[in-house]
Structure 1
Amino acid sequence: MTKPQMTHDQMVKKMLKNPEVNREVDRLNKEEFGILDQILAARKAAGLTQAQIAERMGTKAPSVARLESSLASGKHSPSLSTLRKYAQALGKRVELRLV
């Protein structure tokens, strides 16, 4: 008799019980979502809507919404050029570092 296969969710749940795996996932999430937190905080501090950012970037509001949601979901990595345009719309710049 064969053992039933685990679903993806079951496998993830099992893996996250391992403290080392859990720490690494937390570290990666902080790193990945850090840029989203910075972007949203900068937009809020500037008092700008997605539509206003889009206008300054020369695009439409749904594009900015997709950019922000793609960063939140981690399913898409925007280009450096797109991040620069977003930053410029906020009167900021992107600084990329290797450490």
Structure 2
Amino acid sequence: MAKIKAISHEDVMKTLLDTPEAIAAFEEAKDEFALLEQLTAWRTQAGLTKADVAERMGVKPPAINRIENNVTKASWQTLKRYAAACGVELGITVRV
């Protein structure tokens, strides 16, 4: 049986993030994932199901699945409506 060598997360990151393009793609995906986590956290903290959010937004439940599965395709207005359905006010903060 072959031995399996564990690789640390740090070593994987060093190996994979070895170009400016790879680093930029990772940072972009990291932000997208953080937004997705935030959406689901709002819904969960409000004690709502996807169907509940859909009803509050006036859409069908598959629309919520599309938002949560591909948040980058959601418009700003859709994200604001989703947040409002969860009892959250969404805004933008600019850092310079």
Q: TM-score, normalised by structure 2?
A: 0.72
Quote the residue 1:83 is aligned against.
79
Distance 1:69 1:97 in 2: 24
Q: Secondary structure at the match of 2:55?
A: helix
Distance 1:62 1:22 in 2: 32
- Percent identity, please: 36
**Structure 1 residues 49 and 23, CA gap change in structure 2 (3 angstroms):** same
1:63 offset after TM fit, Å? Answer: 0.8
Q: Does 1:29 align with 2:25?
A: no
Residue segments in structure 1 that go unaligned for 5+ positions in a row: 1-14
Counterpart of 2:75, as a letter, is S
Quote the residue 1:50 is aligned against.
50
Counterpart of 1:81, as a letter, is Q
Q: Secondary structure at the match of 1:33?
A: helix
How many corresponding residue pairs?
81
1:30 offset after TM fit, Å? Answer: 1.6
Alpha carbon RMSD of aligned pairs, Å?
2.1
Distance 1:18 1:27 in 2: 13
| Partners of 2:17 and 2:23 within 8 A in 1 | no
Summarize deviations over 1:22-77 as a string: whole Å, max 9, x none.
43333222212211110011111111111000000011111111111112xxxx42
1:20 offset after TM fit, Å? Answer: 4.5
